[in-house]
Amino acid sequence: MRGLYFFAWIGYSLHMMKKIEEKAEALIRKYNMIEKDDVVIAGVSGGADSVCLLFVLCALRETYDFSVRVCHVNHGLRGADADADERFVEALCRELKVPCRVFRRDVELIARKRKQSTEEAGRTVRREAFETMCREEGGTRIASAHHSDDNAETILLNLARGTGLRGLCGIRPVYGKWIRPLLGVSREEIESALALAGIPWRQDLSNDEDVYTRNRIRHHILPALQTQVNLETARHLNELSRQAREVWDYLERGVDEAWNRCVACPPGKQGTPAIREADFRREMPAVQKQLLHRCICRAAGRSRDVEAVHVSALLDLFDRHPGKKISLPCGVTAYRTYEGISLEKNIPGENLSGRENGEGTDPCTALRIPGETRVPGTSLCISCRIRERREEDLSFYSGMEKGQAEILQKSYTKCFDYDIIKHTVSVRKRRAGDYLVINRDGGRQKLKAYFINQKVPRRDRDQKFLIADGSHIMWIPGMRMSAYYQIGKETKRILEITITEEKTNGRDNQSSDPGGKGGSENQRTGREDQ
List, for residues 284-297, the tens digit of each pLDDT value: 999 999 999 999 99
- Domain-located, residue 219: yes
Are 26 and 119 in a shared domain? yes
Average pLDDT over every residue of 409-436: 82
Q: Among 47, 52, 55, which Cα is nearest to 72's?
A: 47
- Domain-located, residue 243: no
Are 197 and 278 in a shared domain? no
Q: Is the pLDDT of residue 46 over 60?
A: yes
- Domain-located, residue 352: no
Are 376 and 476 in a shared domain? yes
The set of long-range contacts for 327-335, using a CB threshold of 8 Å and a minimum separation of 24, is: 328/296, 328/299, 328/300, 329/296, 329/300, 329/305, 330/299, 330/300, 330/301, 330/302, 330/305, 330/306, 331/300, 332/296, 332/299, 332/300, 334/296, 335/457, 335/459
Identify the CATH number of the domain in which residue 173 sits: 3.40.50.620
Strand partners, 428: 466
Q: How many CB atoms neighbour CB 364 within 10 A?
A: 14
pLDDT in the model for residue 186:
94
Cα(44)–Cα(46) distance, integer angstroms: 6
Name every residue whose Cβ is closer than 8 Å to that of residue 8 and which is 6 or more positions away in sequence.
none
- Residue 117, classed as helix, strand or coil, is coil
Q: How many CB atoms neighbour CB 14 within 10 A?
A: 13
Are 50 and 79 in a shared domain? yes
pLDDT in the model for residue 244:
93
- Domain-located, residue 516: no
- Domain-located, residue 248: no
Mean residue pLDDT across the chain: 82
Are 318 and 372 in a shared domain? no
Are 310 and 400 in a shared domain? no
Q: Which of 345, 378, 403 is the last residue of a domain?
A: 345
Residue 502 — very low, low, confident or very high, per pLDDT cuts 50/70/90?
Answer: low
Q: Is the pLDDT of residue 514 over 60?
A: no
What is the Cβ-side half-sphere exposure of residue 346, based on CA atoms within 13 angstroms? 19
For the segment 370-420, what is each residue's pLDDT rounded down to a tens digit?
A: 888 888 777 788 999 888 887 765 653 333 333 334 444 445 788 898 888
Q: What is the DSSP string of 205-258?
A: GGGGSSSSHHHHIIIIIHHHHHHHT-TTHHHHHHHHHHHHHHHHHHHHHHHHHH
- Domain-located, residue 357: no
Average pLDDT over every residue of 109-127: 88
Q: Is the pLDDT of residue 20 over 50?
A: yes
Average pLDDT over every residue of 133-146: 95
Q: Which of 211, 234, 257 is the last residue of a domain?
A: 234
- Domain-located, residue 258: no
Task: Yes or no: say if 405 and 520 are a contact pair by the CB < 8 Å rule.
Answer: no
pLDDT in the model for residue 402:
38
Are 472 and 500 in a shared domain? yes
Q: At what angle do helices 118-136 and 107-114 cross, to 10 degrees?
A: 110
Cα(481)–Cα(487) distance, integer angstroms: 11
Are 152 and 290 in a shared domain? no
Number of domain units in the chain: 3
Identify the CATH number of the domain in which residue 293 sits: 3.30.465.60
Strand partners, 299: none
pLDDT in the model for residue 395:
55
AA letter at 50: S
Name which residue leads in pLDDT, 245 or 265. 245
- Domain-located, residue 27: yes
Find the angle CA(476)-CA(479)-CA(480) to the nearest 5 degrees.
Answer: 70
Are 330 and 214 in a shared domain? no
For the segment 219-260, what is each residue's pLDDT rounded down to a tens digit?
A: 899 999 999 999 999 999 999 999 999 999 999 999 999 999
ω into 322 cis (within 30 of 0): no
pLDDT in the model for residue 301:
86
Average pLDDT over every residue of 426-431: 87
pLDDT in the model for residue 349:
43
Q: Is the pLDDT of residue 202 over 60?
A: yes
Are 138 and 47 in a shared domain? yes
Are 303 and 370 in a shared domain? no
Q: What range defines the domain where residue 316 resides? A: 265-345
Lowest mean pLDDT among 192-196, 317-321, 520-524: 520-524
Among 83-92, 433-442, 475-484, 500-509, the range with the most confident prediction by mean pLDDT is 83-92
Are 92 and 55 in a shared domain? yes
Average pLDDT over every residue of 42-68: 95
AA letter at 367: L
